Amino acid sequence: MSDKIRILLAKAGLDGHDRGIKVIAAAFRDAGFEVIYTGLRQTPEMIVDAALQEDVDAVGVSILSGAHMTLFPAIRKLMEERNCADMILFGGGIMSEDEITELGRKGVSKLYGPGTSTIEIVEYIKGAVAKKRAGEKLV
Amino acid sequence: MSVFDDFVRRDKRALARIITHIENRRENYRQLLAAVSRLPHQGYRIGITGPPGSGKSTLVDALVLRYIQQGLRVGVIAIDPSSPFTGGALLGDRIRMQHLVNRDSVFIRSMASRGESGGLAAATRDVTKVLDAFGMDLIIIETVGIGQIELDIVEACDSVVVVLVPESGDMIQTMKAGLMEIADIFCVNKIDRPGADRLLSILNSMVHERQTASSVEIRAVGTNGMNGEGVDSLAEAIEKHRGVITTGGELERRRGSQLKAEIVHAVRDRVVRQLEETIDFDGQFEHVSRQLASGELDLYSAADMIYDRYFRK
């Protein structure tokens, strides 16, 4: 039996627009994931602290405040510092292609813009987690 | 086992990974659990239960904040239901525990119930042991008070708090069996709402009636989790209950009977699994099922036949 996929979803920074992330959370839940939702106005420290304790496979962050170029790298850096570099970091927001490329270089696996189908996102995470787990050694 | 060494050094990442390993029953989880159980531990377990939306997580947030300010280390297990249809779960208890994020002395783990056959009670018990061995002074288990499995879980705690709200119902509701019988402490949350005083007085009179000479006194307190009102009284009631059961020998008696129940559960789980896997060992199960369907046999005669064949094989 394969283990359940656990993911953490959070809204980072001063941003109250949580309609999208709730849709994503429901899509992951309906796809059989265990979704930990931490709610609004999370700092990178709070997000990584929760991800570490929950031992999730992936962390999804929604940022619609314009602070994505600051927050995503900050989250990734903390994940590396706190021995959580194996977790997948992905997210959503309104970003330019250039920004997505740059964030990709900084360790954000995947970023989605408005209008993305939830199936596409769920399938991507399923595949990425399977790949990650294949290379993982047990305790 | 380097992860285990990190665990002993109280590294939270190692704790988190060991919990995952044990929760998923991965290879060698039993050896890992046995190694963990050999570490010194002396945590006290508090169960918090009640209907959905009664404010359990908010209360846990307020309560744990008090405990860590006293210098205690606290582990929290927050259980939410899994979907019986998709197996998915939305675990949202952390949203209400914002004061506990980024605290060295707190560790919160959300767990999904994973269905009745998912072994939630056993997994929760194991995770409790892991948190205990990590050096937590208190382990708080929060779960919705519906269903036998959830009741089993909180019943295995040392002190059980049942959280109710003024909308929880009238006197008849408080007389119903189940949830109301496992409380060591009743907590009427959202005490600012109309009807709260009335529910509190109903509970107080019910508690009074239930008191027998031998039983430990049950208390009812009123709280407002949002502004912290009454949380001191709740903490005090828990402390008092802990004191009474610890000095009176009740704690040892409870834990002794819990251990027996754990063995029974573990054996039962194995028997049930084996039965489900091998019930048709001689092909008679299919045959008897057909006889039942066609009306040749009634249910209980069919059960007798299978039982006799299986246990006398």
Whether pLDDT at A1 is above 50: no
The reply to whether B191 and B294 lie within a common domain is no
Weakly modelled stretches of chain B, pLDDT under 70: 1, 116-119, 146-149, 170-177, 211-215, 313
Q: What is the ipTM of this complex?
A: 0.92
DSSP 8-state assignment for residue A99: H
Residue in chain B nearest A85 by alpha carbon: B13
Residue B207 CB neighbours (<10 A):
18
3-state secondary structure of B88: coil
Kindly determine whether residue A39 and residue B88, on different chains, have CB atoms separated by under 8 Å.
no
The structural domain count of chain B equals 2
3-state secondary structure of B108: strand
Secondary element (H or E) of residue A127? helix A118-134
Tell me the C-alpha distance between A108 and B289, whole Å.
56
The reply to whether B70 and B124 lie within a common domain is yes
Kindly determine whether residue B89 and residue A84, on different chains, have CB atoms separated by under 8 Å.
no
Give percent above pLDDT 70 in chain A. Answer: 96
Kindly determine whether residue A30 and residue B89, on different chains, have CB atoms separated by under 8 Å.
no
Partners of B18 on chain A (C-beta within 8 Å) are 139
Domain coverage including residue B77: 38-248
The reply to whether B183 and B94 lie within a common domain is yes
Q: Which CATH architecture has domain A6-134?
A: 3-Layer(aba) Sandwich (3.40)
What is residue A52's predicted lDDT score, i.e. its pLDDT?
97
The reply to whether B233 and B274 lie within a common domain is no
Kindly determine whether residue B88 and residue A29, on different chains, have CB atoms separated by under 8 Å.
yes
Give the one of B12, B27, B91 whose C-beta lies nearest to A35's C-beta.
Answer: B91
The reply to whether B135 and B173 lie within a common domain is yes
Say if B33 falls within a structural domain.
no
Say if B173 falls within a structural domain.
yes
Residue type, B107: F
Say if B261 falls within a structural domain.
no
C-alpha separations of B86 from A28, A84, B91 in Å: 10, 28, 15
How far separated are the first and last CA of chain B, in Å rounded? Answer: 43
Q: Which residue has the higher pLDDT, B281 or A45?
A: A45
Whether B269 contacts B116, CB under 8 Å: no
The reply to whether B237 and B274 lie within a common domain is no
User: Is the Cβ of A137 closer than 8 Å to some Cβ of chain B?
Assistant: no
Partners of B13 on chain A (C-beta within 8 Å) are 52, 82-84
Give the one of A26, A50, A82 whose C-beta lies nearest to B13's C-beta.
Answer: A82
Kindly determine whether residue A52 and residue B12, on different chains, have CB atoms separated by under 8 Å.
yes
Whether pLDDT at A34 is above 90: yes
Kindly determine whether residue A32 and residue B87, on different chains, have CB atoms separated by under 8 Å.
yes
Give the one of A36, A83, A139 whose C-beta lies nearest to B91's C-beta.
Answer: A36
Say if B113 falls within a structural domain.
yes
How far separated are the first and last CA of chain A, in Å rounded? Answer: 18
Partners of A5 on chain B (C-beta within 8 Å) are none
Give the one of A37, A55, A84 whose C-beta lies nearest to B92's C-beta.
Answer: A37
Tell me the C-alpha distance between B250 and B42, whole Å.
16
The reply to whether B203 and B274 lie within a common domain is no
| Mean pLDDT along residues A112-125 | 94
The reply to whether B127 and B220 lie within a common domain is yes
The reply to whether B182 and B92 lie within a common domain is yes
Residue spans of the domains in chain A: they are 6-134
What is residue B213's predicted lDDT score, i.e. its pLDDT?
53
Tell me the C-alpha distance between B255 and B257, whole Å.
5
The reply to whether B222 and B271 lie within a common domain is no
CATH number of the structural domain spanning residue B73: 3.40.50.300
3-state secondary structure of B313: coil
Instruction: Give the pairing type, strands B219-222 and B185-188.
Output: parallel
Say if B60 falls within a structural domain.
yes
Q: Which residue has the higher pLDDT, B113 or A105?
A: A105
The reply to whether B235 and B271 lie within a common domain is no
Alpha helices (runs of H) in chain B, residue ranges in sequence order: 2-8, 12-23, 29-37, 56-69, 120-133, 148-155, 171-175, 196-210, 231-247, 250-278, 284-294, 299-311
Express each pLDDT in B51-64 by its tens digit: 888 999 999 999 99
Tell me the C-alpha distance between B280 and B306, whole Å.
9
Kindly determine whether residue B94 and residue A82, on different chains, have CB atoms separated by under 8 Å.
no
C-alpha separations of B198 from A19, B49, B164, B173, B203 in Å: 39, 21, 12, 13, 9
Most confident by average pLDDT, A11-20, A84-93, B122-131, B146-155: A84-93
The reply to whether B297 and B149 lie within a common domain is no
